[in-house]
């Protein structure tokens, strides 16, 4: 009589990720995620092969996270990739779908503990696809609201961080037009409206001895950014049109920028 061998338990590969912002806002530490993965493996009779960790990395793209790529490469047929939540795995439905297809190609499954998703069944695959789309929709909504709020603060001349744009100066947490630099912007704007190229405008400014705040000649990219950003800090209460054109090129003595 041939003695039967005990059935080997399935193997699981864990993946955890946290960025500094995520940890501060949500408090889901790497160790907390790992503990959840270990507990699931014990309850589900899965042998935990390893837990791959990405520390302080954004989930914006899957291909720039070395630990995630290592986890995917280590998975074999019959294994399962176990994550605390879909947000730890990917930040877009496209990336989530790509990861799932890679796992399917390897004959492996995906388990997401927070959403209780298990792709070992057709219904689990359907729920995974739906949840990925919902997560991406929520992130897009938050991103759009943030952009609207930033634009609103700019229209009120509130300083939103970073460098103060050329043409403006900071006073008591508000951004106000800086006349010497605003003259330059006005002339650049008018020259552009008259069909002059940004490269030609940059050359004209250099010829007149008008330089950027760093003391170096303007380049076309700086001029493009100048014309794009400046109008955001104007409101309807400002007299005249935003960035009105002026006549002759500004005089050097009137336009030398601070800093």
What is the mean pLDDT of the segment spanning 189-195?
A: 88
Question: What would you measure as the largest C-alpha separation in the chain, in angstroms?
Answer: 104
Q: What's the pLDDT tens digit per position in 146-179?
A: 777 666 666 665 656 567 778 778 777 777 778 8
What pLDDT does 247 receive?
40
Q: What's the pLDDT tens digit per position in 46-68?
A: 999 999 998 877 666 667 789 99
* Residues catalogued as catalytic: 19
What pLDDT does 236 receive?
37
What is the percent of the chain with per-residue pLDDT over 90, rounded to a whole number? 26
Q: Where are the alpha helices (DSSP H) in 90-121?
A: 93-105
Q: Where are the alpha helices (DSSP H) in the chain?
A: 20-26, 30-44, 66-74, 86-89, 93-105, 122-155, 179-193, 198-207, 220-229, 252-255
**What structural domains does the chain harbor?**
10-127 (3.40.50.1390), 168-255 (no CATH)
Quote the tokens at residue 15. 């993946």
For residue 205, how many other CB atoms are within 10 A of its CB? 23
What pLDDT does 12 receive?
95
> Which residues, at least 6 apart from 188, have a Cβ–Cβ distance to it below 8 Å?
201, 205, 223, 226, 227
CA distances from 46 to 124, 135, 245, 258 (A): 18, 28, 71, 65
Cα separation, 230 vs 233, whole angstroms? 6
What pLDDT does 117 receive?
81
What pLDDT does 148 receive?
74
What pLDDT does 243 receive?
42
83 touches 14 (CB < 8 A) = yes
Residue 241 has pLDDT above 80, yes or no: no
Question: Coil, strand, or helix at residue 234?
Answer: coil
């Amino acid at each position: 009589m041939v003695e039967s061998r005990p059935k080997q338990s399935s193997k699981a590969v864990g993946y955890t990720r946290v960025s500094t912002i995520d940890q501060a806002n949500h408090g889901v530490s790497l160790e907390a995620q790992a503990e959840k993965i270990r507990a699931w493996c014990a309850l589900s009779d899965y042998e935990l092969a390893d837990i791959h960790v990405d520390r302080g990395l954004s989930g914006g793209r899957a291909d720039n996270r070395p630990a995630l790529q290592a986890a995917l490469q280590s998975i074999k047929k019959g294994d399962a990739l176990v994550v605390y939540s879909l947000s730890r795995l990917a930040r877009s439905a496209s990336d989530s779908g790509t990861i799932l297809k890679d796992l399917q190609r390897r004959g492996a499954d995906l388990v997401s503990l927070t959403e209780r998703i298990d792709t070992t069944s057709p219904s689990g695959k359907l729920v995974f696809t739906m949840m990925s789309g919902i997560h991406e929709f929520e992130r897009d909504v938050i991103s759009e609201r943030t952009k609207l709020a930033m634009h609103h603060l700019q229209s009120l001349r509130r300083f939103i961080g970073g460098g103060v744009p050329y043409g403006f100066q900071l006073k008591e947490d508000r951004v106000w037009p800086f006349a010497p630099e605003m003259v330059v912007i006005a002339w650049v704007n008018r020259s552009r409206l008259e069909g002059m190229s940004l490269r030609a405008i940059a050359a004209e400014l250099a010829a007149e001895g008008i330089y950027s705040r760093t003391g170096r000649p303007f380049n076309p990219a700086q001029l493009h950014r100048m014309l794009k950003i400046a109008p955001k800090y104007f409101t309807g209460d400002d007299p005249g049109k935003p960035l009105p054109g002026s006549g002759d090129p500004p005089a050097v003595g009137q336009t030398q920028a601070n800093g």
